[in-house]
Amino acid sequence: MQLEQQETFVIHGPQLEVFGEVESRLPPPARKRPVAALALVALALVSVFGIGGARLKGVRSSTARIYSAQQDEYGHSIQGDFAAQADAAASLIRVAGNVLGEQDADVQAAQAALDSWNAEADAARPAVQYQLNTALSGAVDLVYTAASDVADSKAKGQLDDLHDSFTSAQATIERAAADYNTKAEDYNATVSAFPANVLAGLWNAGPLQTFAPADVAVGMTGNG
């Protein structure tokens, strides 16, 4: 009796190369069959069911773009709102300097916070930007309050308008960053578990930073 020929399962594309690297990256005890074979089978199954390394990296990239570049339906983006906020801060500090004097401690503290922000702005690292944004917001509030207490009506009106622009941008940033954080945390939960964590390492698709304090944000050198 002639046996039916079994259908051969073949993995094509970049996954094949990735699976070929897995065994060499496993701990020494796991390199022995059947442990290594089971690891390869697990990764193969993950790929077959649509959570392969290429897709994982794509999800990471699309999530990171929410923070670094993506615009909403109104043409706003987190980084664009940061720029608008920094412009409002610079103008407010200039007006406050005219009222209090450029050597005033609150004016100098606000300017130092703005300079630190501007030095980091192009890097778009969420955990670092969170820290600098928090420092800038606090310094701007202090100098606004100090200058408003002694400003004449014209300068007071300018300070109020600029502070409103600053706080409006901050509120928009916080809403957009909260949405980004939710998606980044979902992604991070995915890549923290086996076998996605192995694929993430092989495909350079590690965890994303969140716009949050450094002690709760995922540590990494960049967001891209």
pLDDT tens, position by position, 159-172: 999 999 999 999 99
3-state secondary structure of 52: coil
Does 179 or 3 have the greater pLDDT score? 179
pLDDT tops 60 at residue 151: yes
Does the reported pTM lie above 0.75?
no
All structural domains of the chain with their residue ranges: 52-218
Task: Indicate the residue type of 134.
Answer: T
What is the rounded distance in angstroms from the CA atom of residue 93 to the CA atom of residue 111?
7
Q: Are 119 and 128 in contact (CB under 8 A)?
A: no
Q: Are 135 and 116 in contact (CB under 8 A)?
A: yes
In angstroms, the Cα distances linking 85 to 3, 67, 148 are 73, 16, 19
Q: Give, as one character, the DSSP assignment of residue 220.
A: -
